């Protein structure tokens, strides 16, 4: 295993993970753990930025996210899984980074702007939500991460991380932190079942990794196709058709998918038949994940032990990082 490249990635525990998470970065993490030192963070602090009134929901979902990681094939012997709030050094580094970014710059971050609009915050946005890219920069750099698997919508956050890294290193005359490189999957974004640009739990348009076969079938039958394809014999459009977008990603028989596209374009292929194929494809993909998840779920204490071991290992790394940070900032009073 290489240790000259460190991977940091994570998810917010606001619910089980969905197929959008999988194609956005989860699939990459399975491969990356074979090649690099990988840290996977359960971002409970970040989740509080828009769930601060319901911390019990975040706590309950810690286990659900961990189960999804283990079910897809994340190996705790190869990847270090940790809980964000149990690393106080992240919060400390976040405070230091806040001196290197203006409020105006945070408001210009395209990812933040989009999320503020989606949630309808306007001028009522909290400081915690506005500055979460700074916290994410601390998440990455506390373990000196140099590779970050993300969806394309998170690229502005990686850009802002590198701005902070350059400013910190330049100000204190030391190369404390490396710049981070984003790793984008071949399918960086998966549309929701309603055809909206992004699958999201909050938009109620997601298929979750833990969904039952019947639930997957129900959701696929709701999928957005071509609104003008009213009769089976009518020609249909492929562009913007969510069912074909999913088949492109999850159906291993690419020749068959291409044949279906041609048939759909010329007419004679109904949406129901198309959706039934997708149901079979998705349930074939998800079934082994469900089986593994159910096995791990039988011993939640063992799963939490995995998280505690990973968190303890990360705490050691974080303490060493902050010792170096305090040294270059001349805040290492105990060593003087």
Let me know whether 106 and 172 are in one domain.
Answer: yes
Q: Assess contact for 229 and 271: CB atoms under 8 A.
A: yes
Confidence of residue 188 (pLDDT cuts 50, 70, 90): low
What's the pLDDT score for residue 190? Answer: 83
What is the domain extent for residue 102? 2-190+300-335
Q: Is residue 248 part of a domain?
A: yes
Measured CA to CA, the distance from residue 22 to residue 199 in angstroms comes to: 11
* Judgement on whether residues 67 and 50 belong to the same structural domain of the protein: yes
The answer to whether 146 touches 178, Cβ cutoff 8 Å, is yes
User: Do both 124 and 164 map to the same domain?
Assistant: yes
Tell whether 100 and 226 lie within a shared domain: no
- The answer, yes or no, to whether residue 308 has pLDDT greater than 90, is yes
177 and 281: one domain? no
pLDDT above 90: residue 171: yes
User: In angstroms, how far is CA 106 from the centroid of its own chain?
Assistant: 21
Residues 280 and 323 in one domain: no
Whether 17 and 97 map to the same domain: the answer is: yes
Quick check: is 114 in a domain?
yes
Using the Cα atoms of residue 205, residue 209, residue 212 and residue 213 in order, give the sign of their dihedral: positive
Q: Number of folded domains in the chain?
A: 2
pLDDT score at 2: 46
In a domain, 199, yes or no: no
CATH of the domain at 288: 1.10.240.10
Residues 266, 264: Cα–Cα separation, whole Å: 6
Instruction: List helix spans (H) across the chain.
Output: 19-21, 27-32, 44-47, 55-72, 88-97, 103-108, 110-119, 127-130, 132-142, 155-172, 213-221, 242-250, 254-266, 271-297, 300-328
Structure tokens at 259: 């044949």
Q: What whole-number percentage of the chain has pLDDT above 90?
A: 64
Asked if 286 and 161 sit in the same domain, the reply is no
Looking at the fold, whether 47 and 6 belong to one and the same domain comes out as yes
241, 319: one domain? no
């Amino acid at each position: 295993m290489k240790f000259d490249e460190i991977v940091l990635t994570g998810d917010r525990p606001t619910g089980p993970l969905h197929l959008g998470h999988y194609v956005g970065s989860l699939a990459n993490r399975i491969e990356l753990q074979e090649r690099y030192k990988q840290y996977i963070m359960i971002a409970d602090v970040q989740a509080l930025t828009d769930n601060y009134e319901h911390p019990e929901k975040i706590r309950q979902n810690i286990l659900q996210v961990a189960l999804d990681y283990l079910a897809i094939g994340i190996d705790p012997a190869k990847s270090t899984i940790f809980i964000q709030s149990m690393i106080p050094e992240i919060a400390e580094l976040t405070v230091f980074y806040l001196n290197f970014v203006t409020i105006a710059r945070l408001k210009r971050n395209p990812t933040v702007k989009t999320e503020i609009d989606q949630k309808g915050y306007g001028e009522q946005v909290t400081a915690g939500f506005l500055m979460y890219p700074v916290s994410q920069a601390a998440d990455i750099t506390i373990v000196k991460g140099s590779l970050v698997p993300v969806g394309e919508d998170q690229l502005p956050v990686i850009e802002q991380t590198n701005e902070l890294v350059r400013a910190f290193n330049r100000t204190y005359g030391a190369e404390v932190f490396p710049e981070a490189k984003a790793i984008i999957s071949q399918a960086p974004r998966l549309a929701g079942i309603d055809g909206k640009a992004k699958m999201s739990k909050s938009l109620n348009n997601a298929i979750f990794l833990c969904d039952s076969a019947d639930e997957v079938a129900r959701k696929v039958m709701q999928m957005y196709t071509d609104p003008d394809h009213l009769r089976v014999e009518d020609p249909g459009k492929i562009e913007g058709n969510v069912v074909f977008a999913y088949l492109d990603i999850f159906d291993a028989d690419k020749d068959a998918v291409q044949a279906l596209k041609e048939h759909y374009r010329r007419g004679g292929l109904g949406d129901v038949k198309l959706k039934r194929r997708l149901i079979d494809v998705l349930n074939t993909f998800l079934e082994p994940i469900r089986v593994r998840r159910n096995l791990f779920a039988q011993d939640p204490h063992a799963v939490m032990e995995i998280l505690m071991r990973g968190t303890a290992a990360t705490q050691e790394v974080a303490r060493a990082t902050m010792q170096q940070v305090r040294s270059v900032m001349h805040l290492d009073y105990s060593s003087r």
